[in-house]
A and B are shown apart, each in its own frame.
Chain A
Amino acid sequence: MSTKDERILNPDGGRYPFKVSDEYFDHLTARIMKQIPEEDVKPRMQALSYQNEASGKETKMIDMNKGRHRNLWIRAISIAASLLLIAAVALKFIPMSTTSSPTETLTAEYTDDDYNEDLMTYTMVDNMDIYYYLASDETEEDL
């Protein structure tokens, strides 16, 4: 290095040639804290509501975790209902190892009405789609 660059790059380092008034730093914390939303401090409400900037009103939000848990339950009950439906259909149509016809055996102990009633009881609890499906089948049979 020679001439000017020697003066510029001092081996001991140099001073950063910018300055900002103390007044700027004195007010900086207050300015930043003004941008930190007060409602964020509330631990639970942070997730469940927020301040609408336009209207100034508090807007409620759905607790997504709660919904997720509910969806899991609905899914579990739907699966259970579907399995019951398959089991019930299998019992009705798969030939049994008896001398009498399956229909006769079943009709003797377990009538169509009983079958439909049980089926409805199990399926309509939480799965309206299956209920509507069965209801439409019954109408077709009746016709």
Chain B
Amino acid sequence: MTKIDEQSILRRLQDPTMKRRAFEEIVNGYSRQLYWQIHYLLQNHEDTDDVLQNTFVKAWRGIDNFKGESALFTWLYRIAYNESLTFLKQRRQMTSIDDEDFVEQADFVADEYFDGDETENLLMQAVSTLPTKQKQVFCMKYFEDKKYEEISELVGTSVGALKASYHIAVEKITAFVKGREM
């Protein structure tokens, strides 16, 4: 990942002649990281690609309002998270499902971007049944080994609530797997 000098970028964003170039550096520096964060929630390449592009278009429209009060990635992450929620909501409306936390249980074997074995497929199936918040916390903790404090800053939820969400997610995954064994 390209190292981002946020102070330099923020300075250049103020200059109309350098703004676009500075924004391009943001896209270049954060798109890969953001891609996986969105993929954790949507678990599909095409959907992730769409939401990622929307995220940066929205970020460009709102970049003048970004005052550097949070880290640039935190700001982008929150746009991405909201865009993902909007996407999931629209998908639920298209399938006429009212339950906010309902996620269609996926089978990833046929997904050309899936790079796991049978056990990992089962794990991802279990993860796909989690509500968005639990999915978000579980993936950051389990796949990235992020610290709770770090996740807390990123998602704006207390460490205690995150620990509880992770614990519930693990319980649900365990129950899901046991259910499959029977």
What is the interface of chain A, defined by CB distance below 8 A to chain B? 1, 3-5, 7-9, 12-20, 25, 28-29, 31-33, 35-36, 38, 40-43
Contact = CB atoms under 8 A, between A and B. Distances in A.
A40 B173 contact: no
A32 B54 CA distance: 9
Contact of B174 (A9, A12, A28): A9
A16 B36 contact: yes
A40 to B, nearest CB: 7
Given A8-B177, A41-B16, A36 B114 contact: no
A7 B27 CA distance: 37
Interface residues of B, number: 48
A28 B82 CA distance: 21
B27 A17 contact: no
Nearest to B120: A17
B19 A41 contact: yes
Nearest to B43: A18
Contact of A14 (B16, B19, B143): B143
B44 to A, nearest CB: 10
Interface of B: 16-17, 19-20, 23-24, 27-28, 31-32, 35-36, 39-40, 43, 45, 52-53, 56-57, 60, 108, 111, 113-117, 119-124, 126, 139, 141-145, 170, 173-174, 177-178, 180-181
Contacts of B124: 17
A33 B16 CA distance: 16
A36 B178 CA distance: 48
Given A4-B177, A8-B173, A40-B60, A28 B31 contact: yes
Contacts of B56: 32, 35-36
A20 B174 contact: no
Contact of B57 (A4, A5, A28, A36): A36
Contacts of B177: 4-5, 8
Nearest to A35: B57
A64 B145 CA distance: 50
Contacts of B32: 25, 28
